[in-house]
Amino acid sequence: MSTLKTMGAGLAGLLFALSAEAVTLIKAEEAKLPAGAGVLATRGITRGPAIKVLTPDLANLSSPFDLKVAFEARGGAKIDPAATKVIYLKAKPVDLLPRVKTGLSENGLDLPGAETPPGEHQIQIIVQDTEGRSSQVVMTLNVLK
């Protein structure tokens, strides 16, 4: 019986370790790509979903960090997670959605242990609601180490 308890505790620890595994948000070779040209134009007032960066402090980051972004639909609509886009803004944009999909829901993005190389990284998040209204935000991550 004690062997089963030990095996159960070991299995639980392994599952916890796997679920808490860090995710490489930006690869070192992607960080070396040329920066995108120009300034990204954004709209003013919108009825689209609200996007709020909850963590981290974007100015003084150490990698890995917990990335938490909240999505809030308006006017009775719901967020459409299938229409969400997460893009690393470079001369040739990099689609980050496959890397963050495990932490994506209609409530937002919850990505513990996100890893990036040092430097300044611009990430665009585009969210759409079930009525087709969209909003976007560009986060500039300043990763020190």
The domain limits of the chain are 23-143
Q: Is the pLDDT of residue 50 over 80?
A: yes
Taking the C-alpha atoms of residue 143 and residue 63, their distance in angstroms, rounded to an integer, is: 7
Taking the C-alpha atoms of residue 5 and residue 127, their distance in angstroms, rounded to an integer, is: 45
Name which of 23, 32, 18, 100 is nearest 64 in CA terms: 23
Q: Is the pLDDT of residue 11 over 90?
A: no
Would you say 98 and 86 are in contact if contact means Cβ atoms under 8 Å apart? no
Taking the C-alpha atoms of residue 43 and residue 35, their distance in angstroms, rounded to an integer, is: 22
Average pLDDT, the chain: 82
Q: Is the pLDDT of residue 56 over 90?
A: no
Answer yes or no: CATH 2.60.40.10 is held by domain 23-143: yes
Q: Name the band, by pLDDT with cuts 50, 70 and 90, for residue 66.
A: very high
| Residue 77: DSSP 8-state | -
For residue 34, cis peptide bond before it (omega within 30 degrees of 0): no
Q: Name the band, by pLDDT with cuts 50, 70 and 90, for residue 45.
A: low
**Residues composing the chain:** 145
